[in-house]
Amino acid sequence: MDKRVLLPTDYSKNALNAIRYAMELYSNERCEFYILNVFHISGYTLDSMRVPETGEPYYEAAKKESEEGMERLMQMIKLHPQNDKHRFHTITTFNSLTEAIKILVDKKDIDIIIMGTKGITESRARIFGTNTVNVMERIRECPVIAVPSHYMFEIPKEIVFPTDYKSPFKKKEIGDLIAMAKLHDAKINVVHIDKDRDGKLSRKETTNKELLQEILQGTDYEMHFLSADKISDGINTFIEEHDCQMVAFLNRKHLFFGSILSNPLVKKIGYDPQVPILELNDN
């Protein structure tokens, strides 16, 4: 069955870069790409008592602007070498981004969402755009790949998977990571970063580690142990030393360094992404 990939865009360079990344990542796969632009109307919020309706001048003007932007974007995509395996569908809608994505994920049975880390309005100081963090936090039905602004595509041959072994793994949660590794014959580097530097795992952590090894059987993987004061430093050092092209995080609702939104992964681990992030969910 064809891969169904959702590509949210605000027509920024960053969003275009993420679309190009998706086309390269799945260049050998049959894909249905759904490109989504969510438009807003100045003066209206989704919480307004009154929502603008089709036919109203403000609504029609915003809709037209969104559709024209989509037309320009499709022209740019056509400049990219064409791939017979890829088909594109465009959607423009008035909604909140996460709500529009939820609807599409359900309606089109989306396998994965690929988006940029920042949008047009994000400040330079903000490492991750609010939209990206919201999508990672609220959309739990499928994985999300966040592509850093200026990242040039490289085949992911080395994938980092940081873990603290604090909770047991399930095959289902790791499935998308294994699929990504198999797609590009990549190696999964499981990295345990130890802040205590004693190198010891508790009995429970050891059991969880063994369970993960069972799940990863049949893939090319290696277990690593690093000591670092800051988790982010450990991850970044590993990425540089092993020339990694992707980092995968398991976003557990309550357990992975706190949930992304209430205790942002980006804040907590201070993670400034140099490579794309594959965010997995513990459905």
Question: Could you report the per-residue pLDDT of 38-88, keeping only the tens digit for each?
Answer: 998 876 666 555 666 776 888 898 999 999 999 999 999 998 889 999 999
| Closest to 15 measured CA to CA, from 205, 145, 188 | 145
Please state the domain extents for the chain.
3-147, 158-281
Beta bridge partners of 188: 159, 221
| Closest to 38 measured CA to CA, from 98, 106, 114 | 98
Is pTM beyond 0.95? Reply is: no
Distance between CA 139 and CA 179 in Å, rounded? Answer: 20
Q: Strand, coil or helix: what is 263?
A: coil
The answer to whether 3-147 and 158-281 have equal CATH topology is yes
Query: Can you read off the two tokens belonging to residue 124?
Result: 């330079």
pLDDT at residue 256 in the model: 44
Mean pLDDT of 80-100: 93
Question: Could you report the per-residue pLDDT of 117-130, keeping only the tens digit for each?
Answer: 876 665 554 556 67
Q: How high is the mean pLDDT of the chain?
A: 85
Cβ atoms of residues 8 and 15 within 8 Å = yes
Domain 3-147: CATH superfamily is: HUPs (3.40.50.620)
Which residue has better confidence, 171 or 164? 171
Distance between CA 110 and CA 128 in Å, rounded? Answer: 23
At 267, the amino acid letter reads: K
pLDDT at residue 32 in the model: 97
Classify domain 158-281 by CATH architecture: 3-Layer(aba) Sandwich (3.40)
| Closest to 258 measured CA to CA, from 132, 176, 164, 141 | 164
Mean pLDDT of 100-122: 88
Percent with pLDDT over 90 in the chain: 57
Question: Could you report the per-residue pLDDT of 204-246, keeping only the tens digit for each?
Answer: 999 999 999 999 999 999 999 888 777 777 888 899 999 999 9
